[in-house]
Structure 1
């Protein structure tokens, strides 16, 4: 446990060397990086994966306004300081990707490289190419009141719905965004129903799933849902960065069948990615993979991360030799 920006954050850490911070998504926890933590540590990095603000054993402030992108990025930067480092490589998945890209955008002096999984550098979660309307207003107009991000806006309602049966709610979430469900296979074929519940996908063993159930049973969904309740507020707060670019070395990784392709303008080419992130080194599409990228295809994702890190270190060495 560490104290960052006046709140307690729970972290998992492993290894020694340059700092790499791994940021999870919704509805997950630090445990979503269980496959990558030892591999990155073995490659010579000090790897730190926090339960982010509102999640797991970390604190969940009471006010909705304490979950803005500034607060979330502030936790990353504060964590770097608490750990005694002057620079960091930030990697994130889903909402964690938005915070990783945001950390690079807002603190280019501290973030020396960035990786985003699933969520691209410009999205409704980090709108640095502003749309005419605030994102939730636009989603309500285009997708209706039953789109999940719209439904999450009303405090209390989503908490009650998701908290009635945490096991069932998490099963449905993980299964519905898993690979075969995204490629047109009937959901009941993708995950066999046993005793009235979806069977877990192969990539999520029962013991690992139980950790998620325990986390959200103990702590509820209020904190994580408050991230969504700041989407329009973030749109306003980031107005000064409209049109800005993320210039550090970066990598974008997305699953072939990730449902973010429906929600966000996912770049299809490296040139498209570089229009927002000129420092992008690669755009990696993971075959036979949907939204739960680093858990579904851990070996492919870990390989991409290690290749990116190796390239970044080589560039740093070359630049030092030139200077």
Structure 2
């Protein structure tokens, strides 16, 4: 495609897209996580452009102002995957590389499992294969780390507490995020966006929709060339899920455990991540 994609539509929803890099480059779709937007790729994307890749970073369902349907059912994994497929169809490409972080990684895993023919390579940052994650919940301390997922199932209370924290404890919230590997600037950006953009309830609805997914869907193996990158200081995701992921990838697989790195890999170590991506992306045939 020889023109920029600034948005795409699906089922009456409009998604914003940051389209950068050489127009004739192989396409890399960048899927952000919670509570971020396409801005979270601002450090990594230029490094990919320098290698000749074109990046498409959508603000996903609930994060784009024109794509905020009501109710948790609208945020089921099946809908999130179909959103990315709608973007893929707009590109006109045979296949695209997919890099996802946090919730974006969860979407990327399911996309590659269900539609391997459209994914040239899969890169998951921080989040293991869904089946590995579920197994780690009962074989390690992951359930304790994931306490917030249960809390987010409650109606209205999570939103209230987030707004109160933003209003009366913004500086403390920024420091908490910094302790997990964020810079003060990026932490403030994400906290302010979540609290003031109208995206708060839609973003939390991603978690509230989790019980609506079929457990069988999460066990699908991935046959695409895959790389998982995980930081050993991640406060939300433990080592066990990362180690178990190998059991659910049937194709070529690479795992990088980063010492001293937290949850926010694309922004904390973009140069190191780009080094890992160079041979991984180039190996796609």
Q: TM-score per shorter chain, which class?
A: 0.7 to 0.9
Distance (whole Å) between structure 2 residues aligned to residue 103 and residue 92 of structure 1: 11
Number of the residue aligned with 1:72: 80
Q: Using a 3 Å threshold, how does the CA distance of structure 1 residues 56 and 166 change in structure 2: closer, same or farther?
A: farther
Equivalent residues of 2:72, 2:208 under 8 A apart: yes
TM-score by length of 2: 0.84
Distance 1:172 1:306, change over 3 A: farther
Q: Match for residue 267 of structure 1? A: 242
Match of 1:150 in 2: 150
CA distance in 1, matches of 2:20, 2:170: 28
CA deviation string 1:264-297 (max 9, x = no partner): 74233xxx43310122431011222111111111
Number of residue pairs aligned between Structure 1 and Structure 2? 273
d(CA) in 2 for partners of 1:267 and 1:122? 10
The equivalent residue for 1:320 is none
Q: Which residue of 1 aligns with 2:220?
A: 244
Aligned to 2:8: 2
Deviates more, 1:150-159 or 1:277-286: 277-286
Q: Which runs of 5+ in 1 are unaligned?
A: 133-138, 183-200, 317-323
**1:294 pairs with one of 266, 272, 276:** 266
Contact 1:259 1:290 in 2 (8 A): yes
User: Does residue 38 of the first structure (1) align with residue 46 of the second (2)?
Assistant: yes
Q: 1:213-252, aligned counterparts within 5 Å?
A: 213-216=191-194, 217-234=196-213, 236=214, 238-239=215-216, 241=217, 243-252=219-228
Give the aligned CA root-mean-square deviation in angstroms. Answer: 2.9
Shift of the 273–305 alpha-carbon distance from structure 1 to 2, 3 Å rule, reads same
Cross-structure match for 1:176: 176
Q: Contact conserved, 1:92 with 1:115, CA < 8 A, in 2?
A: yes
Does residue 308 (structure 1) correspond to residue 280 (structure 2)? The answer is yes
Cα deviation for residue 259 of structure 1 reads 2.2
Q: Is the alpha carbon distance of 1:166 and 1:12 closer, same or farther for their aligned partners in structure 2, counting shifts above 3 Å? A: farther
1:95-139, Cα deviation, whole Å (9 max, x unpaired): 1100011110111121221010000013587x6x7999xxxxxx9
Name the CA shift for 1:3/1:158 in 2 (closer, same or farther; >3 Å).
same
* Farther off after superposition, 167-176 or 208-217: 167-176
> SS in structure 1 opposite 2:110?
helix
Q: What is the CA-CA distance between 1:5 and the residue it aligns to?
A: 3.6
Residues 223 and 64 (structure 1), Cα distance of their counterparts in 2 relative to 1, 3 Å cut: same
Q: Does 1:255 align with 2:261?
A: no
With structure 1 as the length reference, what TM-score do the two structures score?
A: 0.75
Distance 2:218 2:30 in 1: 26
Relative to structure 1, the CA distance from residue 70 to residue 20 in structure 2 (aligned partners, 3 Å threshold; closer, same or farther) is same
Q: Partners of 1:155 and 1:84 in 2: how far apart?
A: 40
Aligned residues of 1:257 and 1:288 also touching (Cα < 8 A): yes
Closer, same or farther in 2 for the Cα pair 1:168/1:36, shift >3 Å?
farther
Give the conservation status (yes or no) of the 8 Å contact 2:97–2:281.
no
Q: Which runs of 5+ in 2 are unaligned?
A: 1-6
Q: Relative to 1, partners in 2 of residues 1:37 and 1:82: Cα closer, same or farther, differing over 3 Å?
A: same
Structure (1 or 2) with the larger CA radius of gyration: 1
Deviation at residue 176 of structure 1 after TM alignment: 3.4
In structure 2, relative to structure 1, the CA distance for the partners of 1:224 and 1:82 (3 Å cut) is same
